[in-house]
Structure 1
């Protein structure tokens, strides 16, 4: 494990901010690291305001999208809201369809079948629209690369509005409107929205034409916050505002479908991490194990009792998914060993019977064991389909682009992508991908890294310090939970391995002139030896609260020990 200490920010900036806010130097330093240097910026960070969201009409083609939807409503056209089968796609479809249905009835939804149609806009979906007299498709969280499909729809008299956030290819589809802040000629001030976020900007624009403001749309923010968490987009700028207020909705008045999931797991207050690990996997499980329509139905349920039934179904899909992903991960790890590829720069594995719904999760699991760019393939119709996952600071999308001659199609982000190829091209692709990564990756990136925000002593950790730290939430990419380094720690003699299989570590740590703190390290049981017999050690940790028999105390959540 690499420990990378974030360089100390400019001391003058820290001092000025410290004085302006009346906080200690560590807090001021953490803020400056995050690009917050003035009182006004700190106020916007700690108290995100809906009024600070950008004007949606700053996004390229927004005016065209609004005009086309208004025309469809005036002319009683059938509108098909189309989205991908993952969390971002299904929340986007739930958001757009439920908003339009508040004032217009001729709105229907379409989620492609993961197995039959694959990712994104499909010919089958367009044929469905044509056969059922739809003249407008609003595609969410997909479509930016659907050049041929949009042209095919146009021939059939069907218009497209695309709301996407993935990287565009060299050609942009000839749609009525293409909303994607990552387009080179789109000058929207914030580029990191998820698909549901782009959809929210569109309903914000539509609502503004009726004299409504963003405050009238707060009810939809539970969906947006769920998509932001699940899609692992930066929690900065507009995403921070949307996630902050969306979490408030989730914790106070969520829609029946989300409430039903929360009630299943009996959790009182959800953080963005809970959204990622509790709500998102269940919504995702529908598209993975059955069909994404189940997720849209749950997220648009108006009746709590119905939502509870649907949530119980989806919960079962999630249990099935867990079993499937455990089995597949074990088989994939065996394959790496059998093919003696432990020392490669990449992981590329394939089995025709692996469940397409879990290959993305399995790719993530494999990167936990072999920390390197990873692709997991399975058979999908006549082709092979894969999910790609990367390691920090390595752009897997660019690596795939360099292997494009072997690929049928691909799309995605820097850290996650999907692709299809012909079976006969698998071996050549695997070889090319290994070569491209071996020649382009900085070898240091193949060692997992923990980014350290600041060195502190235990005496820094007071209830006031933690109270301010908590307000840095919601955490996520580009605003991660602060990780601290403390040196010369000593265990007071109560250190032991805990947990059913003794794999976790529990310590009582102290330093001269500091109160004792409890530290818990999940999966760090093998480090106990480093802390015994009064030997001093260094630890990386975040700070959280531990509740035990009604008492709340601060504890260190250990990340690593040396």
Structure 2
């Protein structure tokens, strides 16, 4: 692990903010490091307001999209809501379809089959629309690169409205409207929305035409918060407001589909982390193991008994997914060793029988062992399909652009992408990808980094600080949970390995013989000798609460020790 300490803001800036907010220097420093420099910034950070959401009509083509949907409703046209099979796509489809169905009946949903159709807008989906009399398709979380498919639909007199958040190519599809804050010619003030977030801006615009306010649409924010967490978009600006209120909906008046999942868990209140690790994998499992439509069915169901049936189906998909991704990861690790590729700059593995639904998860798992840009390939029809994952600071999408001679099609983000290629191009691609990454990656990016906000003493860790830090939530990219470093701390003699095979590290430490505090380090059991050697050590951690027999105490959630 590389330990990187963030630069400390100027003391005069800390003094000014601390004075304005009546907080201590440590809190002012943490806020300045998150770009919060004034009382007004802090107010928006600690008290997000729905009234601070941007006007949806600032997004290019929004007025055209709303007019086309209103025209379709006026003429009684059939509208097909189309979206990708992952969490962002299925939540977006559930959101837009259920909103339209609340006042217009001629609406249906379509999720492409991961195996038959692959990612994004599909010819099969357009044929389905033609066969069933749909004249307008609203594509969510996909479509901004679907030039040929939109042209194909146009020939059949089917219009497209695209709601996407991926980077467009140089040419845009010939759609009626393209809502994408990443368009070069779009001046929308916030360009980090997820696909479901763009879908929400569309219903916000439609609602304004119908005399609805933002308060009438809060019900839908549980879906948006789930997509924000799952798609790992920054939790800053508008996303922070949407996630903040979406979590309130999940915890206080959750839709029946979420309730059916949550009721199986022993959780009082879900955080964004719980959404990412508990709700999102289950929704994703439908598209990975069976079909994404199962997720849409669950998220739009209004009958509790039926939702419980759907949720238990999805639970089984998730259990099957876990077994598969574990087995494939083990095979992939063997392949890297056998091919003598442990020293390279990339991991690229392939087996024709690997399950396409879990290769993205497997790519992430491989990065836990070999920390470098990774692609996992499998057979998909007569081509190979891959999921790409990257390491912090390296743009895998740009690296794939450098290999485009060997790729049929690709799309995605800086840290996650998907692609297809012809089998005969696999070895050429693999060689080129290694070459591109080797030439462009900064060597330090191949060592995992822990970014530390500041060095503190254990005495700084007070219940008051914990109360303030809780208000920094929801956490995520752009607003990670504060990470601290304490120097020269010592074991009090209670350190031990805990859990199965003593995989976890439990410690009790002091600094300069005062203020004892406990800590837990998950999967850090191998570091026990370092703690019990009687020598002082440095620790990196976030501050956490431990509840035991009704008593709540502060504890260190360890990230690394040296």
Coarse TM-score class (shorter-chain normalised): over 0.9
CA contact (8 A) 1:547 1:553 kept: yes
Alignment match, 2:448? 448
For 1:124 and 1:9, the matched residues in 2 are separated by 55
Alignment match, 1:271? 271
Alignment match, 1:310? 310
CA contact (8 A) 1:539 1:561 kept: yes
Segment of structure 1 superposing worse, 507-516 or 180-189: 507-516
RMSD, aligned CA: 0.6
How far the C-alpha of 1:264 sits from its partner, in A, is: 1.3
CA contact (8 A) 1:366 1:374 kept: yes
For 1:10 and 1:230, the matched residues in 2 are separated by 35
Q: Which structure 2 residues correspond to residues 146-545 of structure 1 after superposition, within 5 A?
A: 146-512=146-512, 514-545=514-545
SS at match of 1:105: coil
Asked if residue 4 in structure 1 is aligned to residue 9 in structure 2, the reply is no
Deviations 1:373-396 (CA, angstroms, capped at 9, x unpaired): 000000000110000000000000
Asked if residue 62 in structure 1 is aligned to residue 62 in structure 2, the reply is yes
Alignment match, 1:97? 97
Asked if residue 142 in structure 1 is aligned to residue 122 in structure 2, the reply is no
Alignment match, 2:549? 549
Deviations 1:499-536 (CA, angstroms, capped at 9, x unpaired): 12111111101113642100110111111111124311
SS at match of 1:161: strand
For 2:298 and 2:361, the matched residues in 1 are separated by 23
SS at match of 1:555: strand
How far the C-alpha of 1:242 sits from its partner, in A, is: 0.2
CA contact (8 A) 1:65 1:176 kept: yes
Deviations 1:393-426 (CA, angstroms, capped at 9, x unpaired): 0000000001001000000000000000000100
For 1:232 and 1:391, the matched residues in 2 are separated by 14
Deviations 1:45-66 (CA, angstroms, capped at 9, x unpaired): 0010000000000000000000
Deviations 1:114-143 (CA, angstroms, capped at 9, x unpaired): 000000000000000001110000000000
Segment of structure 1 superposing worse, 116-125 or 493-502: 493-502
Residues 1:126 and 1:370: Cα distance change in structure 2 (over 3 Å):
same
**Structure 2: runs of 5+ lacking an equivalent:** none
For 2:10 and 2:409, the matched residues in 1 are separated by 45
CA contact (8 A) 1:377 1:384 kept: yes
SS at match of 1:265: coil
CA contact (8 A) 1:91 1:296 kept: yes
For 1:379 and 1:248, the matched residues in 2 are separated by 42
SS at match of 2:388: strand
Q: Which structure 2 residues correspond to residues 108-119 of structure 1 after superposition, within 5 A?
A: 108-119=108-119
Alignment match, 1:41? 41
For 1:487 and 1:552, the matched residues in 2 are separated by 25
CA contact (8 A) 1:459 1:513 kept: no
Alignment match, 1:82? 82
SS at match of 1:260: helix
For 1:488 and 1:344, the matched residues in 2 are separated by 36
SS at match of 1:473: coil
Asked if residue 123 in structure 1 is aligned to residue 123 in structure 2, the reply is yes
How far the C-alpha of 1:266 sits from its partner, in A, is: 2.5
CA contact (8 A) 1:113 1:291 kept: yes
Segment of structure 1 superposing worse, 51-60 or 496-505: 496-505
Alignment match, 2:13? 13
SS at match of 1:258: helix
Deviations 1:85-133 (CA, angstroms, capped at 9, x unpaired): 0000000000000000000000000000000000000000000000111
Segment of structure 1 superposing worse, 11-20 or 421-430: 11-20
TM-score by length of 2: 0.99
SS at match of 1:137: strand
For 1:70 and 1:516, the matched residues in 2 are separated by 64
SS at match of 2:502: coil
For 1:533 and 1:403, the matched residues in 2 are separated by 50
How far the C-alpha of 1:9 sits from its partner, in A, is: 1.3
Deviations 1:301-347 (CA, angstroms, capped at 9, x unpaired): 01111111100100000000000000000000000001000001000
For 1:532 and 1:196, the matched residues in 2 are separated by 49
**Structure 1: runs of 5+ lacking an equivalent:** none
For 2:107 and 2:99, the matched residues in 1 are separated by 10
Deviations 1:257-276 (CA, angstroms, capped at 9, x unpaired): 00110011221100000000
For 1:380 and 1:281, the matched residues in 2 are separated by 23
CA contact (8 A) 1:136 1:160 kept: yes
CA contact (8 A) 1:493 1:533 kept: no
For 2:54 and 2:10, the matched residues in 1 are separated by 30
For 1:24 and 1:499, the matched residues in 2 are separated by 38
For 2:155 and 2:542, the matched residues in 1 are separated by 56
SS at match of 1:516: strand
